[in-house]
């Protein structure tokens, strides 16, 4: 998702454009890494010394709820990144060191649905965690 689409979604849902929201979104824009609320807080506190963890987290929850950000959990902590714009169904490999994500165009659900003939699968999420070539 790009910034223009993100702001359109926010405004269509009654949210105002603020400097802090813009700064948070810009941290994700053009970046394929997952970031934590703590990562963002560390960056934002340089320009906004009074910004709280709650403010950052509330904005991340809003962005995720609107589909601007996607999230995953690594080591018991929520990590966020800009929603993929790829129209093709895919999953991700996520580097546990740097947070970088790589698209995987293969979906294991094709094999798994055969094992669940009487079940209705409503959604799924498949992620692989490890270390990217740059971090090895």
| CATH numbers and ranges of domains, the chain | 3-82 (1.10.10.10), 91-130 (3.30.1490)
Burial letters 34-69, b for 16+ CB under 10 A, else e: bbbbebbbebbeeeeeebeeebbbebbebbeebebb
Pairing mode, if any, of strands 77-82 and 101-104? unpaired
- Per-residue model confidence as pLDDT tens digits over 84-123: 876 677 888 989 888 888 888 888 887 888 888 888 888 8
- Per-residue model confidence as pLDDT tens digits over 7-61: 999 999 999 999 999 999 999 997 888 999 999 999 999 999 999 999 999 999 9
pTM of the model: 0.79
Instruction: For 54-92, give the DSSP string.
Output: HHHHHHHHHHHHTTSEEEEEETTEEEEEEPP--SS--EE
């Amino acid at each position: 998702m790009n910034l223009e689409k993100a702001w359109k979604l926010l405004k269509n849902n009654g949210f105002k454009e603020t400097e802090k929201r813009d700064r948070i979104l810009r941290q994700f824009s053009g970046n394929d890494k997952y970031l934590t609320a703590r990562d963002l807080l560390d960056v934002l506190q340089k320009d906004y010394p009074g910004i709280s963890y709650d403010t950052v987290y509330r904005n991340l929850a809003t962005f995720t709820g609107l589909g601007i950000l996607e999230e995953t959990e690594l080591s018991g902590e929520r990590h966020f990144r800009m929603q993929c714009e790829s129209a093709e169904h895919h999953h991700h490999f996520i580097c546990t060191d740097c947070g970088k994500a790589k698209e995987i165009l293969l979906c294991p659900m094709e094999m798994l649905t055969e094992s669940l003939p009487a079940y209705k699968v409503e959604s799924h999420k498949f992620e692989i965690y490890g270390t990217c070539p740059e971090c090895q």
